[in-house]
Amino acid sequence: MSTEEAPLFHHPDRNLALELVRATEAAAIRAVPWIGKGDKNAADKAAVDAMRAFLATVDFDGVIVIGEGEKDEAPMLFNGEHVGSGKGPACDIAVDPIDGTSLTAAGRSHALSVLAVSDRGTMLDASSVFYMDKIVAGPEGHGVIDIERPVGDNIRAYAKAIGKDIEEMRIAVLDRPRHTQLIADIRATGAGTRLILDGDVAGGINAARRGTRIDMCIGVGGSPEGITTACAVKALGGFMQGRLAPKDEAERERGIAAGLDIDAVLSIEDMVRGDNTFFVATGVTDGALVNGVKREGPIIRTESVVLRSKSGTLRRIEAEHLVEKWLDDEHL
């Protein structure tokens, strides 16, 4: 009998994301009663409470590196909070119980519940600077795109790399006044824009995936969303660069005091190191990445994506939940 060690693929290890998806499913389901009700804080609170409760059941030792609030602003999941059972792998966590609270409150599409995980000590804590300038594309972007080049040069170079005419290119951008010139510059190349109302995580992921209607995602969005997106893009083999964008001199100084290189171009490896990242997202409302929560009689349907960089996989999970198990929420 051979004594040679079996190939690595004969020794599957634990995909933590397949357990964490229960937390994003719960957060998405609990946010449903607040869709279109105009109260984004109530929606966020419902999602946070559900996510925290389900995270406590997962065997891992998680520390939130990127959360939405501080401890004295509970019930938000705060930076430095420990989650999980305390047993199992030590992990960094980026969490956004609802990416798109305004979308949820307005009843608009593309709201998600999101978790990203990496090994302990590998996730950049950029929380002292709220905004980040980002550019995301597919694998062909490596060695082709540079965030320091004019946007038109990047679009033309990437279009050539993927074999598309400029007129066919579609660039996702957050619809914000700060992007007025950026949008004009994109359109001046002949490319079209896909304007995002809120939450650019899904836009970044779709830019990194093959076969979507988005070729690139460009512009200034939240730095927490940037780090979260990096975990997903790494699993897809996509391209991403970022650069911190402090809104004023005081925030710039806070970033420097926290040890951040404000002017550096951040590669995806700077944002999250190593090759063991997980990303989980469940749809709250319908979007291009996943469908939102739907109730059909006694059944609640959810759709989620689960990505892992170590295996390079994207899984879609469609789940059916019995309404009777959620009856403690009278609004469902």
Binding residue per annotation — 75? no
Residue 98 corresponds to which amino acid? I
> Binding site annotation covers 96?
yes
Q: Was 101 annotated as part of a binding site?
A: yes
Please enumerate in sequence order all residues whose Cβ is within 8 A of that of 190, keeping only pairs 6 or more positions apart, or say none.
Answer: 166, 167, 169
| Contact by Cβ (8 Å): 111, 95 | no
Do the beta carbons of residue 34 and residue 44 sit within 8 Å?
Answer: no
Is residue 125 annotated as involved in ligand binding? no
Q: Is 270 annotated as a binding residue?
A: no
CB 330 within 8 A of CB 309: no
Q: Is 199 known as a binding-site position?
A: yes
Q: Please check if 255 is assigned to a binding site.
A: no
Is residue 259 packed enough to be buried (19+ CB in 10 Å), middle (13-18) or exposed (0-12)?
exposed
44 is in an annotated binding site: yes
Whether residue 175 is annotated as binding a ligand: the answer is: no
What sign does the dihedral 248-251-253-256 (CA atoms) show?
negative
Instruction: Tell me the C-alpha distance between 174 and 233, whole Å.
Output: 18
287 within 8 A of 202, measured Cβ to Cβ: yes
Long-range contacts of 324-327 (CB under 8 A, 24+ apart): 324/298, 326/29, 326/300
CB 282 within 8 A of CB 302: yes
Q: In angstroms, what CA-CA distances link 108 with 201, 277, 285, 332?
A: 16, 30, 7, 19
Inter-residue contact 128 to 106 (CB < 8 Å): no
Annotation-wise, does 99 bind a ligand?
yes
Would the annotation count 61 as a binding residue?
Answer: no
Binding residues: 44, 68, 96, 99-101, 131, 176-178, 198-200, 222, 225
- Binding site as annotated, residues for Mn(2+): 44, 68, 96, 99, 225
Point out the annotated binding site for substrate.
99-101, 131, 176-178, 198-200, 222
